[in-house]
Structure 1
Amino acid sequence: MEFNEYQSLANRTLYGNEQVLTNLSLGLASETGQVVDLVKKYTFHGDRLNKDQLTKQMGDVLWYLSQVAEWADIPFDEVAKQNITKLNHKYPNGKPAK
């Protein structure tokens, strides 16, 4: 699936009022926190990494991020392309040196 296609399909489920950007931003922070919590529990509490739960939470982060871009009239493909360009510039040889 292409990013712009995802963005369009995800937008079908967006609802809200004039404060939709605030709602999206708070939702993005909340869902990101849930991803972080799963990683924290795996790393520091010895829990097994529940990949199904992690995938679901990452999907929620993706939805919110795509809708922030939609609200700002930014094609989601453009977000991905600009990020790869930035990473290629920052790390021209691939992974950063250790």
Structure 2
Amino acid sequence: MNSKNYIGDAIKTESTNFQAMNERLNDDGLKRLLHAGIGLSTEAGEFLDALKKHIFYGKELDKVNLAEEMGDLFWYMAIVADELGFEFEEVMERNITKLKARYGEKFSEEKAERRDLETERKILEEQSFN
């Protein structure tokens, strides 16, 4: 396979429902979620870049920068929480309940590999957000 063939085959699987996309993007709430999603991805990349510089380039671990990136991540998460009507405390509590169901009181690789996704989903659905 050459690159021209690959590109031709790959774009056959591209969604071209741009009318539906444009209709969805008229929803200001969806725009906020998209903005937050892109921002979260960007800030997570900046967090990883700081770790890369420390691990692979031998630079000192820049904790100030890591804290800044965490703050930026929190900022974007606040947009998500506001748009979806979530409180951080509810999300944090639900996450810990799910993790306790998965691991009990302590992480293990075996439990990580043998996750009961059905039970975890039930836990997430049982606790309703206000």
C-alpha distance in structure 1 between counterparts of 2:58 and 2:108, whole Å: 28
C-alpha contact 2:81 2:87 (8 A) present in aligned 1: yes
C-alpha distance in structure 2 between counterparts of 1:55 and 1:21, whole Å: 23
- TM normalised by structure 1 equals 0.74
C-alpha distance in structure 2 between counterparts of 1:50 and 1:78, whole Å: 31
1:67 aligned residue: 79
RMSD after superposition: 1.8
Unmatched runs of 5 consecutive residues or more in structure 1: 1-16
Q: Does 1:42 align with 2:54?
A: yes
**Would you tell me which structure has more helix in proportion to its own residues?**
2
- TM normalised by structure 2 equals 0.57
How many correspondences in the alignment? 82
C-alpha contact 2:32 2:79 (8 A) present in aligned 1: no
Tell me the alpha carbon deviations over residues 41-91 of structure 1, each in whole angstroms, 9 at most, x when there is no partner. 111221111111110111111111122121111111111111111111111
The percentage of counterpart residues that share the same residue type is 35
| Greater C-alpha Rg | 2
1:80 to 76, 92, 104: 92
Structure 1 residues 78, 36: closer, same or farther in 2, change over 3 A? same
Unmatched runs of 5 consecutive residues or more in structure 2: 1-26, 111-130
